[in-house]
Chain A
Amino acid sequence: MPHGTPADTTPDTTPGRAASAAAGGGTRLRVTALAATLGVAALLIHNGITGTPGPPTADNSGTTPTGGSAPLTRSTPTWIRIPAIAVNARLIGLDVSPTGELDVPPADRADVAGWNTDAVTPGETGTAVIAGHVDNKRGPAVFYDLGKLGTGRKIEIHRRDGHTAVFTIYAVRTHPRDNFPSTRVYGPTGRPELRVITCGGTYDEHTGYSANTVVYAHLTATR
């Protein structure tokens, strides 16, 4: 059969060429699969290196607190509400260790916060302290979004006497653990103030979080 005839355009059905074509198709499929696998691998490595953002960081904003409400008498706080970050948590009492460290709620109680029973109660004149976890081993906890808060936001503390003490945030700060301003955070004040504290900064599996996120608020209303 001479070359250049219309018969040249018919499909080649010889066994050797068909096998070769099948082999070429399999190779293309394998190459495609390998390329896809490499793409997925690259994506995983990229995401792993980039990592997750972690708890929000405080913007360290602050204003001078103005106004205020008359102090309340001592009464055990029972609940804390922070509408801006959807916190609505029960409060438990926390002691202070002999070394001066505030106890924290149990690690498996990610949904509760605690108040320092050795300090004033929220609404009394002085500095009341509430602490809660930012996360536990399983994921985010009650104060994970504390760093998102800004000045002017409200914190409501429900008390056993039926009153609700409403605090207004005037500063949100991240204080490094190794240079923690204890007097500023816990020190006495001449009016009812509140500190809400959780961990912040960067996390190291050996040393934990590098800082504390501290919300400073003062009593502005009671009901």
Chain B
Amino acid sequence: MYATRFAAGTAMAAALLASAAPAAVANDGRTVPYVHATPGNVQPGQTVQLVLTCPTEAATADGTSQAGTIHFGSATKGVFTGTLQVHAAVPAGQYTVTANCSSAAPSGKSAEKSEKSTEKSAGKAVTTTTTVVVTTTTTTTATTHPATVTGPVRTGFGGAAGGPDSTQIAIGTTLAAAALGTATLMLRRRAANRA
């Protein structure tokens, strides 16, 4: 019972909030602000192009990401273009890009005129996020660069290797055994003849 009431209350609160502050919509029909990163998969040291669509009254934009440094230029009808320069030493992984749209600070008559319109966005920064995936250089290297040698070569078959010569040893041993055997026989015959 309590859970049902709580869920209903939450839903009503959400509906009220939504009706009180309707989200802005861009020309392409998407809710603003939103940011798009191209490409979404990068390597350390590369640059990502960012397009940040803000409410039309937004005057400045900035952003942050642990993947690198973000810089936005001037806006055209609320659309900012910028870059994310990915750090060269950033570890591989998925990184969040947070972009902020800020309204212009009011000044003079034009500011007074626009004051009401900026109230709708409460003169506050609105924020959006996206993600980029940083891949390691090694992965890319394996598929696009020539193969790399990683060990010693095997360029010998022992035909001229140094070390003991078993053939000579075997022949010498056979000859020695034969000579000693013959000598033993000779001594025995001689002893037999004397006897």
Contacts and interface: CB of A to CB of B under 8 A. Distances in A.
Contacts of B182: 30, 34
Chain B interface category by residue count: 35 or more
B149 A52 contact: no
Nearest to A100: B150
Contacts of B147: 95-98, 100, 118
Contacts of B152: 175, 177, 180, 197, 211-212
A41 B176 contact: yes
Interface stretch (B3-11, B83-91, B165-173): B165-173
B149 A203 contact: no
A162 interface: no
B105 interface: no
B172 A41 contact: yes
Contacts of A212: 152-153
Interface of A is mostly: mixed
Contacts of A175: 152
B180 interface: yes
A205 B172 contact: no
B160 interface: yes
A37 B163 contact: no
A104 interface: yes
A93 B151 CA distance: 18
Interface string A16-58: 0000000000010011001001101111111111111111000
B155 A197 contact: yes
Interface string A153-164: 000000000000
A29 to B, nearest CB: 11
A136 interface: yes
Interface in B12-33: none
A102 B165 contact: no
A135 interface: yes
Nearest to B164: A51
B193 to A, nearest CB: 9
B138 interface: no
Q: Which 4 residue pairs of A and B lie closest in terms of their CB atoms, listed nearest first?
A: A54-B162, A44-B172, A48-B168, A203-B161
Interface of A: 27, 30-31, 34, 37-38, 40-55, 95-102, 104, 107, 116, 118-119, 129, 131-141, 143-144, 175, 177, 180, 182, 186, 197-199, 202-203, 205, 208-209, 211-212
6 contacts: A37-B175, A104-B154, A118-B146, A136-B157, A141-B156, A202-B161
Given A44-B175, A51-B164, A141-B155, 12 more contacts: A38-B180, A44-B169, A45-B176, A47-B172, A55-B156, A139-B160, A177-B152, A182-B149, A199-B153, A199-B156, A203-B161, A203-B163
